[in-house]
Every structure is written in structure tokens, then in C-alpha cells.
Copies of this chain bind each other. A is one copy, B any other.
Amino acid sequence: MDILTLVGLVAGVLIVVLAMLANASLLTFLNLPGLAIVLGGTFAVTLIKFRLSSVTGAFRLAFAAAFTDRVPSPTALIREVGALAMVVRKEGILGLESHQTDNGFLQKAINLCVDGHPPELVEEALVQESRQIEERYEVAERVFRGIGESAPAIGMLGTLVGLVQMLNTLDDPSSIGPAMAIALLTTLYGAFLAQLIALPLADKLQLKAEDEGRNHLLIITSMRNIMRGENPRVMTELLSSFVTPDQRLGLAPEREA
């Protein structure tokens, strides 16, 4: 699923760049001072609005959202914890010790169980971990929404600066067009940054936070049942409320196991 984030980012940028190349060279659209105003100004404003650690964390999360595929489908998760429940049924909690999983949150849950902590403490630790992951997504979303708000405003500021410069040197009529083109570029950069990158990423991070939150709840619910020694089939039945009816069909063989 996450590959689409990258595809969307690349496609959006490519489409606009191709449109630029249609009737002019790309150099026409490159104005380093303008780029410096929009990127630098937006970064300066973001530094005032947020902590530096929030900003770097936001970019790390967005990068991860674009290039890696970390949110597993609930169906796969239900099958995995179903298998874990079978193991615990046969070999006891310590049977989980050898289980390795890509899912960091599930791995943490397993480790806490194997370490022999009491169930309430395991659950509390997982709930707190989940809340902190959620908070990190929320801060990242706010950072990108902040960028999406500031970038067009700073771009407009740059265009105003360019217009004032141009209007003071109207002597040479032939320079009006190109000068105004350069003035417009900062507005273009700001809109580009906000509409094709920052705002969509903010929406994506919000969506991922919802997905992760639902998976965390699923894992916490299942670990509670596993530690109670619940019947694996009953647990899978119970967890099926996390998925749509269509996805539930995919769980059927598991249930009959």
C-alpha cells in the first residue's frame, strides 16, 4: 500500500515538471533566490513553530511512510497472533521466545510476555507505547500541515518582493515579462510545496496513525487473550470484528485449524 505514496509523490512532481518542459526549458522555472526564500522562509517559520526534534521526527516518519511498507494488514496480523496463541497453548508462554517478527510493536509485546511481567503491566506498557507512537504521528502531521500553511504565504511574500522590484524598473519594457515571471515563481514554489508534498503527506500520516492505532489495539487485545490462555479459535473469532466481512473470509481456514 505504501508504495502508492511514493508513486503519488513522483507522479505529481513529474506531471508538473512535464508541463513546465512543454513550452520552455526547465531553467525558466529555476530561480535560486526564489527557491531560497520559499524553502528558507518556510524552514525558519517551522523552526519558530515547532521544536527541532519534532521537525526531524516528522521528516523521518514521512520518509518511512513513503519508502517502506510498515503497516501490516489486520488479516495478516490476526493470522500471526492466532499462530502465537497455538504455540502458547502447546508450549506455554516461553514457547514464544524463539518467535521473530518484523512488526516492532508485536515483538515488544512478545518480549514483555516472555520476560514474565504480570499481564496488567504488559498491557499498560503496550498502551503507553501505542499512545506515544500515536503522538509522534500527530506531531509529524502538525509539522506538515504547518509547512502546507506557511509555504504558500511565504511564496506570496516573495512574489510581492519581486513585483515591487519590477515596478521600480519599468524603464525597459522588454524586461517586464521575465521579471514578472520570476516574481511569480515563488508563489509557484510555495503552492507546489504545499499542494503536492506537504498537505498530502500530512493526510497520509493521519491515515497511517489511524491504521497503526487499530493494529496496536488488535495486538494488545490478542496479547491479553494469549496470556489468559484463551482458546486460539475463540480469540480469532473475537478479533474478526477488526476486519471487514470480505477480509473475514480470508480468516476462515485459520478458524477451522
Contact = CB atoms under 8 A, between A and B. Distances in A.
Interface of A: 1, 4-5, 7-9, 11-12, 15-16, 18-20, 22-24, 28-29, 33-34, 36-37, 40-41, 43-52, 128-129, 132, 146, 150, 153-154, 156-158, 160-161, 163-170, 174, 176-178, 180-181, 184-185, 187-188, 191-192, 194-196, 200-201, 203-204, 207, 241, 244-245
B191 A157 contact: yes
B36 A19 contact: yes
Nearest to A155: B160
B200 A49 contact: yes
* Residues of A contacting B: mostly: helix
A5 B207 contact: no
A184 B167 contact: yes
A48 B8 contact: yes
Contacts of A22: 33, 165
A195 B165 CA distance: 21
Nearest to A129: B245
A163 B192 contact: no
Given A11-B47, A207-B49, A181 B161 contact: no
A188 B157 contact: yes
